[in-house]
Amino acid sequence: MLYFIEQCLNGIQLGMLLFLLAAGLTLVFGIMDLVNLAHGSLYMIGAYFAATFAAWTGSFVAGAVLALGASLLVGMAVEVTAIRRLYGRDHLDHVLGTFGLILFFNELVRLIWGPAGMTLSLPSQMLSAVQVLPGVYYPVYRLVIIITTLVVALLLYVLVMRTRVGMLIRAGASNREMVGALGINIKLLYTLVFGLGAALAGFAGLMQAPILTVQIGMGENILILAFVVIIIGGIGSIRGAFVASIIVGLIDAVGRAFLPDLLRLFLSNNAASTLGPALSSMMIYMLMAAILVFRPEGLFPAANR
């Protein structure tokens, strides 16, 4: 039971990371109608920046803040030089163009940081575990991830729902031409949105760096999960991304931990160990398939598309 709670927390933590990624993706897609495969590259760059800046400054937090700023800048730079030429073209063009960006970024990182990858260590305060429930000890850092991401989610909500910029974002999502016709500098808006998405991705990248990895190509695997989240949650919907991320995170963590044992009730030990990991990795995709069959627009479809 305690193990179950721990796995649930892990699931929520994974879900939070996925949310950061998915929110950026879905914002960019919802507003600029652009499929950005290189989103995973921005995630990777955030992690690399954090590792580098943390090493320079000697402080994890300082490194994180600097990395966040750097991710924002890189995102905006990429938008201005490359991404904006893709607006309005068909989705195959987006996919190809941003795939090219993936190749470029992987090589650039290899050029600058070398092929070996990096590490990012935590400040000592965050290395211990804390009792969250009677008998349940959970690593402080993972809690930090959950909490900071919730704060970010809240800030995002406030930004999109309560500020003028957010209003422009929502307006742009439902009617691009109109917003442009109103004299709003739509180009600047797009650059900022893309930058925001990049910052969110970079933030996810740097947050997971101490517990997972900092290496070339790390974005490519998690990007797919982010896509699954968006499909389940509904393209263009941040609320959908939030709910779907938690669901996906929980299914992945809890499924991986308990499915082999569950299978052992029905199958031989051997079969369960073989099938267990394979099936648990499939579960998220099965959920996605189910959504496609029964509710193709996602759980919380954004207004109009």
- Cβ of residue 134: shortest distance to other proteins, in angstroms? 35
Of residues 103 and 133, the one with the C-beta less far from other proteins? 103
Of residues 27 and 146, the one with the C-beta less far from other proteins? 27
Smallest Cα–Cα separation from 204: which of 66, 86, 42?
42
**Interface contacts to other proteins, rule CB under 8 A:** 29, 35, 37, 82, 85-86, 89, 91-97, 99-108, 110-111, 220-221, 224, 227-228, 230-231, 235, 273-279, 281-282, 285, 288-289, 292-293, 296
Structure tokens at 294: 């029964």
- Cβ of residue 62: shortest distance to other proteins, in angstroms? 30
- Cβ of residue 274: shortest distance to other proteins, in angstroms? 6
Of residues 20 and 25, the one with the C-beta less far from other proteins? 25
Smallest Cα–Cα separation from 242: which of 39, 9, 14, 18?
18
Of residues 76 and 222, the one with the C-beta less far from other proteins? 222
Q: Which helix (H) or strand (E) holds 137?
A: strand 136-139
Q: Identify the three-state secondary structure at position 302.
A: coil
- Cβ of residue 276: shortest distance to other proteins, in angstroms? 8
Of residues 40 and 139, the one with the C-beta less far from other proteins? 40
- Cβ of residue 47: shortest distance to other proteins, in angstroms? 19
How many other C-beta atoms lie within 10 A of the C-beta of residue 124? 8
Smallest Cα–Cα separation from 204: which of 244, 240, 245, 235?
245
Integer Cα distance of 281 and 10 in angstroms:
16
Integer Cα distance of 226 and 24 in angstroms:
10
